[in-house]
A = this chain, B = another copy of it.
Amino acid sequence: MEKTALIMAGGRGERFWPRSRKNLPKQFLSLTDDGKTMIQLTVERILPLVSIENVYIATNRQYAALVKEQLPHLPQSNILCEPVGRNTAPCIALGAAHIAKKHGDALMMVLPSDHLIKYNSMFQSVLKESCKLAEERDSLVTIGITPDYAETGYGYIKFKGDVNIGTAFEVERFVEKPNLELAKEYLASDEYLWNSGMFIWKVSTILDKFKQLLPDTYEGLMDIQAAIDTSAEQEVLERIFPDFPSISIDYGIMEKSENIYTIPGNFGWDDVGSWLAIERIKKSNENGNIITGNVLSISTENCIIEGREKLIATIGLEDLVIVDTDDAILISDKTKTADIKKVLETLRICNRDEYL
């Protein structure tokens, strides 16, 4: 069966400010040493399985030009612009409608655009297994990540250790972000995986699920689908899509479905959730510093310094994150980078939108 992919690239992540901006979210940044952006890496790692003509990018209209620039080989019509952000369920529904219209039934991989994966070949083999399962059994397949520590920022997947098909395990239920105590319990048990937000199914399977579980959305979706490639396409999309309920695929579909399998992935997944992730991604020097750009450090240890042309001279610093850009520089304690959102709030309140 033909393989397709829907890459979700509408996010507005603020956690990489000042490099990420309203007009340049994380998925369009290069955070690795190879100079490729997150979305470029996302596409690159599935190309052995999916031809570029079968890759669809769901994003916000304001990012369409960025997608085109960063993925020049992607057909223009594969950029699906959501008129407004409505969480993952409507986004996936829109992708499914386009894929079904163009390909009939097909395998559909749903992937975030702003995560990193270290071992591409292992990732591809997990995708292949997932496709096989989705095709043969009409299953909803989700990729679970074997947890390294008691993370409270992710959802979890509880699976049935005794019900497996090959390397896939049946999902018992999806669990919301836990508190630390619960997260520790999950980690200690051998029954939970992190929910990576990567899904594989047949487009017919997921459309059936929408019809069954979100029938109003499905109905609107059929109107949108009918208008694809007609002169009314834009008008219909803009009329109907904003009325879709803002709902996640986990909550809207997965938690209410049967026949869900998870394949545990152990391929060096990283959601690159904050500047601290850079420590997992890039090599540090002998002083524990991770440095790029024009930087001169004296007695400086365990710092992340992202410089540019301007000389950054540091003396006697420890455990800081320093990120320079053309118009703003961030200097933050490593343990406090979550307060970047306070910086952005303040900028918003003070009408300094040029920095957002």
Contact = CB atoms under 8 A, between A and B. Distances in A.
A337 B313 CA distance: 11
A37 to B, nearest CB: 24
A317 B335 CA distance: 11
A13 B138 CA distance: 76
A322 interface: yes
Interface string A28-42: 000000000000000
Q: How many copies does the complex hold?
A: 2
Interface in A37-72: none
A315 B299 contact: no
A18 interface: yes
A315 B298 contact: no
A331 B312 contact: yes
Contact of A313 (B316, B317, B329): B329
Nearest to A343: B313
Interface residues of A, number: 33
A330 interface: yes
A315 B328 contact: no
Contact of A346 (B296, B310, B328): B296
Contact of A315 (B312, B333, B352): B333
A332 interface: yes
A119 interface: no
B337 A315 contact: yes
Which 6 pairs show the lowest CB-CB distances between chains A and B? Answer: A316-B333, A316-B336, A315-B332, A311-B328, A315-B339, A315-B336
26 contacts: A298-B336, A298-B343, A310-B328, A311-B327, A311-B328, A311-B352, A311-B355, A312-B328, A313-B329, A313-B343, A315-B331, A315-B332, A315-B333, A315-B336, A315-B337, A315-B340, A316-B332, A316-B333, A316-B339, A317-B320, A317-B332, A317-B333, A320-B331, A322-B331, A324-B329, A329-B329
